[in-house]
Every structure is written in C-alpha cells, then in structure tokens.
Amino acid sequence: MTTEDSVRFCPQCGSASVDFSTLVVGGLSGAHCNGCRWEGSAEELLLVPIQHEFQFGKESIVAEMMNDVRQLLSGSLGVPYLKFLLKWGFVKGEVTDIGGTVDRKQFARYLARIGHAVLMAVIDERTKQEKKKNESSS
Ligand SMILES: [Zn+2]
C-alpha cells in the first residue's frame, strides 16, 4: 500500500523548519519560517509529496535531502544559477558587482524554488525506477 504524505518547505529560503496551520481563520491560514523569518500563507509553502513505499517515509529524510540541496546551491553551485538568472533578466544586478547590486532576497527565492525542483525531479525519477523494477520482478 502506498501512503501519500508531504513535507513543506519555506518558499523563500527552502528551509523545512516552517510552522503552519491548516486551520483557516478569516480566509487565511498562517505560516512562517524559523530560518529566514518569512511569513505568509500555508498555501505558499513548497510541497514535496512523499510515497512511503519508496523509502522516503520519514519527513526528516526529505528535510535532510533538501538541506543538502540548499547547501549545494548556496555554495559554488549557486553562482552559475545567479549568472543565468542575471543574463535573462530574472534577477537584476551587475555580474561585475554581484555583492553590491544583486537583490539577495529575490535571488534566494529563485534558489529555493530551484532546489525544490531539483529534489522533486530526483524523487520523481526514483519513483519511476522503483515502479519499473516492481513491474519487471512480478
Ligand atoms: Zn525561510
């Protein structure tokens, strides 16, 4: 049996350390991040669906993987992404003066989304591989 579950992440910094309420009060459900102090609605949080039979059952595993991806992106791997975003005008700033001209908050939001997409793609591909394996063994 497959149990559908999901882990939520901050849309700004990608942290899994988010508090949220699914209780809707006055049409709004509140959420905030303990990492970067982001505040918004629970619907804005990034969702990573998990299927327990593919050994991603524990929320902490996905959260740790997300942290790994974040570390990759905040390190040297983030630079080529920044150059790409600057080149195509997604982030405003000068390549020659990144520290002084780039809107870090805006860039961080893109990085969080990129990290999320990377993790989703990896989990999705793993799921497909597992399905294939199960089909051929039965
Ligand atoms: Zn955050």
Mean pLDDT of 31-37: 90
Q: Are residues 73 and 90 in the same domain?
A: yes
Q: Are residues 113 and 69 located together in one domain of the fold?
A: yes
Q: What is the pLDDT of residue 90?
A: 94
46/84 same-domain check: no
What's the pLDDT at 1?
42
The answer on 75 and 45 residing in a single domain is: no
Distance 132 CA to ligand 1 centre (A): 36
How far does residue 136's CA lie from ligand 1's centre (Å)? 42
Position 87 scores a pLDDT of 93
Q: How many CB atoms lie within 10 A of CB 63?
A: 17
- 78 and 117 together in one domain: yes
- Both structure tokens of 31: 């959420």
42 and 104 in a single domain? The answer is: no
Kindly give the distance from the C-alpha atom of residue 91 to the centroid of ligand 1, in angstroms, as a whole number: 19
- Alpha-carbon distance 15 to 117, whole Å? 14
25 has which bridge partners? 28
Note whether 3 and 71 are same-domain residues: no
3-state secondary structure of 58: coil
pLDDT value at 88 more than 60:
yes
pLDDT at 85 over 90: yes
pLDDT at 8 over 60: yes
Residue 91 has pLDDT above 90, yes or no: yes
Domain count along the chain = 2
CA of 138 to the centre of ligand 1 (A): 44
Show the 3-state SS of 112-134.
HHHHHHHHHHHHHHHHHHHHHHH
Average pLDDT rounded to a whole number, residues 9-18: 86
Q: Do 90 and 135 reside in the same domain of the chain? A: yes
- Quote the pLDDT of residue 59: 66
Ligand 1 centroid distance, CA of 39 (Å): 8
- For residue 99, how many C-alpha atoms fall within 13 Å in the half-sphere facing its CB? 0
| Alpha carbon of 134 to ligand 1 centroid (Å) | 38
Do residue 68 and residue 136 come from a single domain? yes
Domain that holds residue 45: 1-53
